[in-house]
Amino acid sequence: MPYDPSAFPPFAVTVDLVVLTVRRHALCALVVRRGESPYQGRWALPGGFVRIEEDLGAAAARELTEETGLHVQGPDDRHTGAHLEQLATYGDPGRDPRMRVVSVAHLVLAPDLPTPTAGGDADSVRWAPVDSLLPPGQPCGDGPDRSGGQPDPLAFDHSRILADGVERARSKIEYSSLATAFCPPEFTVGELRRVYEAVWGVALDPRNFHRKVTGTPGFLVPTGGTTTRQGGRPAQLFRAGGATVLNPPMLRPDV
């Protein structure tokens, strides 16, 4: 290794955030409008520089709070706040025209909440349906190229990061209890089902879904309360149980 560590090449390290929620039966991502060049005026994922004495996860949590007011769920704290996990790292030379930037992308799953107001400016941040941000039929698909090429709506390589985050969310709710991170602290089986339907983009049988989730040990614990906020017969309320991995997993149709 003919490489001198004391002369290591300097990189800028940032975190980018794929913040997902389910609103009005659609999977949505948080995007912010860029105020500066490059890509001025374009939408981008929230993010920023990692500070020199700051852990990567801490930087992601800080940026999340700064840009959305959301807080991250502590390890002890059972479901007050959002789920955060590292997604992947993007370091292509030239992904930022200004300098060599390595970005550690993180994935955040948040319950539906009032439209966030950024640190200062209000209409420079919004929830956008992922279908409107991503080329259609992309993620699961493997086939040849389709969608004859509208302009990429997101700055930098953020479309790819978003696609990776959406794909991660789609597969993780299959074998983990993470779908509850999209729900308020107390929720019904029907609300949880609508999360799965929105994230996967499929319709699920309500009867079989109910049996499945209530029969998976540790997934849901009843609170005793009921609600009629969805109309119809009152539904039991549940909280997320202690299980993190689902056994048996939820089965996504076809694929």
Interacting residues with DNA (CB under 7 A) = 188-191, 205-208, 210-212, 214, 226, 228, 230-236, 248, 251, 253
Burial of 171 (0-12, 13-18, 19+ CB in 10 A): middle
CA distance 49 to 47: 7
Closest distance between DNA and the C-beta of residue 205, in Å? 6
Strand order across the beta sheet in which 43-44 lies: 43-44, 26-33, 125-129
Exactly one of 26, 39, 44, 88 binds a copy of itself (CB under 8 A); which one? 88
Our finding on whether 166 is near a copy of itself (CB under 8 A) is no
Centre a 10 Å sphere on the Cβ of residue 7 and count the other Cβ atoms it contains: 7
Centre a 10 Å sphere on the Cβ of residue 155 and count the other Cβ atoms it contains: 20
208 binds, among a copy of itself, DNA, none (CB under 5 to 8 A by kind): DNA
Q: Which two tokens stand for residue 112?
A: 């539906």
Closest distance between a copy of itself and the C-beta of residue 103, in Å? 10
Ranges within 90-109 binding a copy of itself (CB under 8 A): 91-93, 98-100, 102, 104
Closest distance between a copy of itself and the C-beta of residue 160, in Å? 13
Burial of 68 (0-12, 13-18, 19+ CB in 10 A): buried
Residue tagged 């590292």 (tokens): 86
232 binds, among a copy of itself, DNA, none (CB under 5 to 8 A by kind): DNA
Closest distance between DNA and the C-beta of residue 154, in Å? 34
Our finding on whether 44 is near a copy of itself (CB under 8 A) is no
CA distance 191 to 205: 13
Our finding on whether 208 is near a copy of itself (CB under 8 A) is no
Residue type, 143: G
Which residues would be at the binding site for a copy of itself (CB under 8 A)?
A: 1, 3, 5, 8-13, 48-56, 66, 86, 88-89, 91-93, 98-100, 102, 104, 119, 245, 247, 255
